[in-house]
């Protein structure tokens, strides 16, 4: 029995490879031959060949972003979230194995159809957004850190033409950040309508940037472009001899005109007004309002540890960088670093309350935490979600709230502690580090306390059973 799989996630950093590893271990345990292709931030690795696919009994797609299915035609496809592949890999492998049986295949196909319809109704837009975010993140990270490097020479050093600071700002702000919204919009449209959606999506995103409607305008432009192309594909029928004109002329031209005119004359200005109001409100935010926003962003960052809710909060922070609003980004990164750091700390302070495997995972969590990879908390949450998830959400909420309260700012969208030494990249560096430290300590002691309660209950149950 041979199965092939493809894994990806919105960032292509941690979930992609954790899902691949989980599926490989589960397949080995069940005696199933598997090959897993990863579509991470560095591109496609361990790519499936035509022979691999032809020999496979079923295909597993563990996805957090769009995966084209053209090459899997005629194969039974098992679609799961990347989180499911990490948490329940054996169930996923069993489903793939059973799908070869005619009756099981029929049942799974029917369930998949119903599930796909429900997902499209409930979470389709979110999946398209996450696909756009996954392609946007490399531009944001490269641009943001390059901008931060330009600040080494002073906050306004880039204004002097011909200097290295000016060159760095041109690379980061003038190029990478200028592409951020068009790429976001283009790949949202791609997720909806495949390749024909990219051109109108990027054009709409570029117009959103020029008009001043920012990332919110880019999201709307991408959605409009994607659904417009999808509508045109379904409703324009051409003679077979002219079908070749659809992807290269008719679809991009009509959809780009529609989206472009809509952005310029109808949607762009109202969204610009909303973005301007949001920017001013966030810039002037202080006191209890800042604390509440920071806490909400913190809760979202820890809730699914790199999943869709986490990425919505991250996208919010990243999107505001283009509007020169830097406090939310600081809160987001502080809250994202806290879960793995807090759990790593807990494995040291409360060592007896963790398994040997969790203590080993704690060593890796230190590195993942300081690198702003929230997924480092997943092994702990998967093993004990009832105690771990409330603990990391509480710690992240505290870190996010304190970051906003202290007025910390962050001009780089990623990098963890590695961007902290860059001069002027972080505003109120002392307060920022304090927020991360306190959030991590809160996480560690809360999870330690909850695990101690669980341990006492388990001991009481064991005593009762032994007496019985």
**Is residue 296 annotated as part of the catalytic site, yes or no?**
no
Residue 385 in tokens: 């979600």
Contact criterion met (CB below 8 Å) for 335 and 435: no
Which burial class, exposed, middle or buried, applies to 406 when counting CB atoms under 10 A from its CB (0-12, 13-18, 19+)?
buried
Residue 161 in tokens: 């033409």
Residue 85 in tokens: 């592949």
Of 9, 34, 341, 408, the active-site residue reads: 9
Contact criterion met (CB below 8 Å) for 17 and 35: no
3-class DSSP string for the chain: CEEEEEEECCCCCCHHHHHHHHHHHHHHHHCCEEEEEEEECCEEECCCCHHHHHHCCEEEEEECCCCCCHHHCCCCEEEEEHHHHHHCHHHHHHHHHHCCCHHHHHHHHHHHHHHHHHHHHHHHHHHHHHHHHHHHHHHHHHHHHHHHHHHHHCCCHHHCCCCHHHHHHHHHHHHHHHHHHHHHHHHHHHHHHCHHHHHHHHHHHHHHHHHCCHHHHHHHHHHHHHHHHHHHHHHCCCCHHHCCHHHHHHHHHHHHHHHHHHHHHHHHHHHHHHHHHHHHHHHCCCHHHHHHHHHHHHHHHHHCCCCHHHHHHHHHHHHHHCCCCCHHHHHHHHHHHHHHHHHHHHHHHCHHHCCHHHHHHHHHHHHHHHCCCHHHHHHHHHHCHHHHHHHHHHHHHHHHHHHHHCCCEECCCCCHHHHCCCCCCEECHHHHHHHHHHHHHHHHHHHHHHHHHHHHHHHHHHHHHHHC
d(CA 146, CA 134): 19
Q: Which residues are catalytic?
A: 9
């Amino acid at each position: 029995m041979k199965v092939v799989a493809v894994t990806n996630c919105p960032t292509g950093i941690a979930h992609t490879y954790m899902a691949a590893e989980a599926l490989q271990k589960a397949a080995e345990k069940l005696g199933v031959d598997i090959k897993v292709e990863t579509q991470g931030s560095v591109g496609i690795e361990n790519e499936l060949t035509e022979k691999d696919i032809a020999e496979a009994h079923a295909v597993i797609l563990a996805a957090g972003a769009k995966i084209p299915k053209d090459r899997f035609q005629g194969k039974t496809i098992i679609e799961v979230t990347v989180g499911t592949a990490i948490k329940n890999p054996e169930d996923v492998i069993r489903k793939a194995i059973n799908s070869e049986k005619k009756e099981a295949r029929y049942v799974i196909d029917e369930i998949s159809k119903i599930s796909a319809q429900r997902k499209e109704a409930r979470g389709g837009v979110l999946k398209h957004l996450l696909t756009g975010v996954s392609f946007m993140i490399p531009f944001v990270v490269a641009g943001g850190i390059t901008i931060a490097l330009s600040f080494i020479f002073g906050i306004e050093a880039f204004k002097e033409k011909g200097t290295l600071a000016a060159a760095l700002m041109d690379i980061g702000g003038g190029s990478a950040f200028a592409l951020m919204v068009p790429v976001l919009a283009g790949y949202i449209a791609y997720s909806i309508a495949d390749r024909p959606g990219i051109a109108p999506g990027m054009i709409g995103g570029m117009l959103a940037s020029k008009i001043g409607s920012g990332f919110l305008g880019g999201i709307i432009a991408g959605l409009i472009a994607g659904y417009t192309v999808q509508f045109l594909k379904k409703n324009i029928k051409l003679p077979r001899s002219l079908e070749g004109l659809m992807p290269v002329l008719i679809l991009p031209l009509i959809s780009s005109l529609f989206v472009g005119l809509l952005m310029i004359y109808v949607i762009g200005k109202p969204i610009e007004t909303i973005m301007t109001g949001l920017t001013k409100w966030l810039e002037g935010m202080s006191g209890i309002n800042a604390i509440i926003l920071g806490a909400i962003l913190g809760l979202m960052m820890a809730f699914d540890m790199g999943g869709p809710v986490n990425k919505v909060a991250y996208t919010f922070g990243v999107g505001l960088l283009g509007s020169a609003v830097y406090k939310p980004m600081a809160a987001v990164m502080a809250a994202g670093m806290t879960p793995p750091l807090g759990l790593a700390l807990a494995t040291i302070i409360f060592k007896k309350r963790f398994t040997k495997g969790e203590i080993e995972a704690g060593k890796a969590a230190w590195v993942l935490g300081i690198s702003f990879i929230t997924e480092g908390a997943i092994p702990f949450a998967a093993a004990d979600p009832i105690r771990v998830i409330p603990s990391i959400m509480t710690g992240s909420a505290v870190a996010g709230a304190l970051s906003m309260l202290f007025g910390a700012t962050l001009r780089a969208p990623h990098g963890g502690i590695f961007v902290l030494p860059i001069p002027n990249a972080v505003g109120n560096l002392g307060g920022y580090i304090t927020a991360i430290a306190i959030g991590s300590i809160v996480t560690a002691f809360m999870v330690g306390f909850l695990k101690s309660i669980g341990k006492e209950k388990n001991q009481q149950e064991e005593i009762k059973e032994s007496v019985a």
